[in-house]
Amino acid sequence: MSNRALAIGLSVGVALLVAFPLIGDRFYVQFVTKILIMAIFAGSLNLLVGYTGLVSLGHAAFFGVAGYILALYSPDTHAASFWTSLLLAVSGAALMALIIGTLVLRTSGIFFIMATLAFAEMLFYVFHDTAIAGGSDGIYIHERPVLMIGNWQPLDLAHSGHFYYLVLAFSIGVTLFMRTILRSPFGQVIVGIRVNEHRMRALGFHTFRYKLVCFVIAGGIAGLAGYLAAVQFGVVNPEMLGWHLSGSVLMMVILGGMGTLIGPILGAFSMMFLEEIFQTMTKHWQLLIGVVIVLVALFLPRGVAGLLPDWQRRRTKAGSAQRAPGETHA
């Protein structure tokens, strides 16, 4: 697909998302808000899996830690500051990613996968089996953070429409941020690490440092998604750190298309819409989701995003085949 066609498609998509709260029901506005949050989360994991080649089953740890930081920081009697709580949550998730990454990135392959899973499960049981943060019941956030710019409050985060636009702005900002990173020399190095880490090391790159920086960035973005999820639902619980959520967001990345900026967004929308449809059909909806993921892995190895260039290639081939006889005759 040409850059112009892609730009037009993305512009139309953004315009529809901007206009959606004006015509959509409150329930659907909240539902799309949740999808956009999960798209941010999936994008952060895609930075590891799709671009750096680091498959993590513990990525939800950073998502959940940020949510818990907000809940623990928020007072019971009044709202916390949005800017302060956001900074603490994202920084806390990034710091956790730095600590865990320093240890797990010394492994590779299946050992890396199991190490990330082990750390996430340890955090899960810390919050689940102790009274540090409400145990298995979690913690309620009684007042949403207040977003102030001086004495002006541009958005009320308790209002579904206002919060939707905040999440949409973060979604666009994160996508542009990752696009900038991936087009930079740093992005070229991490892609090179995925293709052949030994060669990159032989060229003089300290691959461990590059992977660690990428791990921390991904953890911070996952923390942003966890913070927004905690604000939306007003409650955090240990399930936000569980391996089930890590597996679910990994399936979004696979479904949408690994190694593409738009893939996690398409994957989040596709998977969550499929979940809603399958839940109305049967109580065994998770089985149907599993079947869809298997079919995608078998027949669409590049995910939903891969359909766009495939369609363009088929169109180009068809056009060439039609022109060929005339060209030969001439």
Expressed as residue numbers, the domain containing 285 is 17-319
Give the separation between CA 268 and CA 256, rounded to whole angstroms: 7
pLDDT, tens digit, for every residue of 215-253?
999 999 999 999 999 999 999 999 999 888 999 999 999
Residue 218 belongs to some domain of the structure: yes
The answer to whether residue 8 is domain-embedded is no
Flag whether pLDDT at 315 surpasses 90: no
User: Distance between CA 215 and CA 103 in Å, rounded?
Assistant: 11
AA letter at 53: G
User: Has residue 64 been placed in a domain?
Assistant: yes
Q: Does 249 reside within a domain?
A: yes
* Confidence at residue 135, expressed as pLDDT on a 0 to 100 scale: 83
CATH code of the domain containing 137: 1.10.3470
Of 174 and 133, the structure prediction assigns the larger pLDDT to 174
Give the 3-state secondary structure of residue 150.
coil
**Tens of pLDDT, residues 121-144:** 999 988 888 877 778 888 999 889
List Cβ neighbours of 181 (8 Å cut-off, separation of 6 or more): 47, 187, 217
Q: Is residue 1 part of a domain?
A: no
Task: Write out the H or E segment, with its range, that includes residue 82.
Answer: helix 82-104
Q: What pLDDT does residue 5 have?
A: 67
| Angle, alpha carbons 273-37-306 (nearest 5°) | 55
Split into its structural domains, the chain has a count of 1
Cα–Cα distance, 106 to 57 (Å, whole number): 16
- Could you give the dihedral angle defined by the CA atoms of residues 69, 70, 73 and 79, in that order, rounded to the nearest 10 degrees? 180
Position 304 scores a pLDDT of 86
Long-range contacts made by residues 202-209, C-beta under 8 angstroms, separation at least 24? 208/105, 208/106
- CA-CA distance, 85 to 159, in Å (whole number)? 19
pLDDT tier at 309, thresholds 50, 70, 90: low
Q: Is residue 4 part of a domain?
A: no
- Write down the pLDDT at residue 199: 92
In a domain, 2, yes or no: no
254 domain-assigned:
yes
